[in-house]
Chains A and B, each alone.
Chain A
């Protein structure tokens, strides 16, 4: 028998996470298939998912703003390698999606299409899981919609 040269040392950390009021409201919205962000009272930017404050202005955010479910791809990376825990079989694209009404991109997955057609400016919409739970993973991925691409100059601040 050959020598032992490799050791598997899996690590597992079991956390229990308690969502604060802001995240709890965001997750409650998800249960109704609504994506609800928050607007900064100072710079007027809409954050999704909301964190309860604006990282630029350092002020609390309270105004709830529904965003999406459609959005625009502002950057992406195609995943062609398999790994444990993958939601979609590769290839698929990881993408920044700026949801309609939001001012920050959401990192998510673009699927249900040929990955070679994924592009900056592409219009997409959320595809919900058959059974939604209080997690952003209830949006399983985004798929293309039949709308013209958004020109670069309209999403330049995200590029």
Chain B
């Protein structure tokens, strides 16, 4: 029973694919076209990312409005060592970004040597967009 402990990598991988439904279909179609959409509630609140339902009333949300493309960093977390899949974003921070015209914050990456609350940012779009969140490669500082 003195066998050396065996240590081995174990990779669990799921190839999920989800149907978007009408709201997210419009959101991701717009992203592919280089525009960012939010949902407007009956009370006039604009939610970005959009929602299928009003979080306050549960009502269906169909109306969508364009927001941004610039926004303001509300808070952020620096990533000193980006995980696999994000190596091209060194250095970057995860940030909550309230896009102009929106009332809620979008979680996305900010590529900048220094990030701060209140910082003004804009999306850096991918050259080839397919309709997914990384069509925005990251947000970057708006030049003063």
Pairwise interchain contact A15-B10, C-beta atoms closer than 8 A: yes
User: In the complex, how many residues of chain A place their beta carbon closer than 8 angstroms to a beta carbon of chain B?
Assistant: 28
Task: Count A/B pairs, Cβ under 8 Å.
Answer: 87
Measured between beta carbons, the chain A residues less than 8 angstroms from B28 are: 4, 7
Measured between beta carbons, the chain B residues less than 8 angstroms from A156 are: none
**Chain B contact residues (Cβ within 8 angstroms of A): what range?**
20 to 34
- Tell me if A56 is interfacial: C-beta within 8 Å of chain B: no
Q: How far is the CA of A84 from the CA of B24 in the complex (A)?
A: 27
Cross-chain contact of A19 among B8, B31, B130, B132 (Cβ < 8 A): B8
Cross-chain contact of A21 among B1, B26, B130 (Cβ < 8 A): B1
Binds A, one of B14-22, B64-72, B74-82: B14-22
* Proximity bits, B1-41, A CB within 8 Å = 1, else 0: 10111111111111111111000111011011000000000
Q: Name 10 extra pairs, CB < 8 A, besides A7-B132, A27-B6.
A: A3-B25, A4-B25, A4-B132, A7-B131, A9-B16, A12-B14, A14-B11, A17-B9, A24-B3, A134-B6
